[in-house]
Structure 1
Amino acid sequence: MSLSELRSRAPAGSLTVPQRPDFHHLLTLTHGSLRNAVDFTGYALKPGSWLWVRPGQVHQWGDLRQAEGILILFEHGFLDPATVAAARLDDLNASPVQLPVGDDRDALKLAAEHLDRESQALRQLPLEVHISVLRHLLAVLVLAVGCKERDHLVPTSVSHHPETTSSPSLAGSNY
């Protein structure tokens, strides 16, 4: 889904509080800038950046009004075990933000756009075939993001991220 769609679906103010989702968030920006926090560490995102929030991590959205991009949400069991292992889906120590360059950046952009378009169009395929196509396109994307070493963005200071808090009570909650 696009970030504009997320903005239209989410109740006002619901995204600015820390949350601990039980599914993956994979986000790439296409325009603007966005600050997010993952496990209470702030990150400044720009076009071409990838943010991957894994289940169980604490995620806090920044101001979405100045950004546009593609958000991919998926549950842990959607991909096959070999893809899960190769893409390090369970690695909570993996850097949540990556900034691919050159051909890698272009390939990831195309893969995200293809997945986004396919998810919005059932076309003439039977439902089970459509789901299989989505599963394979997502596998290509998470393998590319999760397996290659890339230049990482430097985390911003938590004190410079006004929406971020280091409250121990939030770290143990489900939201």
Structure 2
Amino acid sequence: DSLEADGRPLLYMSARGRPLTQARVREWSKAPGIVVLCGRFEGVDQRVLDARGFEEVSVGDAVLAGGEAAAMVVIEACVRLAPGVLGNIESTLEESFEDGLLEHPQYTRPRTFEGLDIPEVLLSGDHKKIDQWRKRMREETTRERRPDLWEAHLANQQAKGDPKPGKPKE
């Protein structure tokens, strides 16, 4: 990885870069800071990237007019992991991507919104059933929306010796 002499990652926002992942964000958030370079329209001179050792980072499969919006995504993702920014840093361990699955759906008040109710299990007070529901929802959502993450999750479960990886129980 590209690092400034003082340990700061050198990042260049580019559609041709390696994809931004939560694992990389966690790594960068531990650094004393980051240096983010943004191009405009056609980008920056390749020699600058080569001479300084910038790592190219992409925030998705889309082309932007410049890297500023992508830089804001990287900065926000890193800053929110800094001590004191979130009320409970432990809550980040239950978010999407932390264990290879997307996050479960969230529900708040009122109990009924436009004819849609909060799932009864979440109102039951039975923490074991709530945890099971959340896991099932995480698995179903990941399988439906991100087959790439689902396949990686299955492979990881098999590598850990899980005897029954696959479709979650209904």
What TM-score range do you get, normalising by the shorter chain?
under 0.3
| Structure (1 or 2) with the larger CA radius of gyration | 2
TM-score by length of 2: 0.23
The normalised TM-score by structure 1 is 0.23
Query: Relative CO higher for 1 or 2, CA cutoff 8 Å, sep ≥ 6?
Result: 1
Structure whose residues are more often strand by fraction: 1
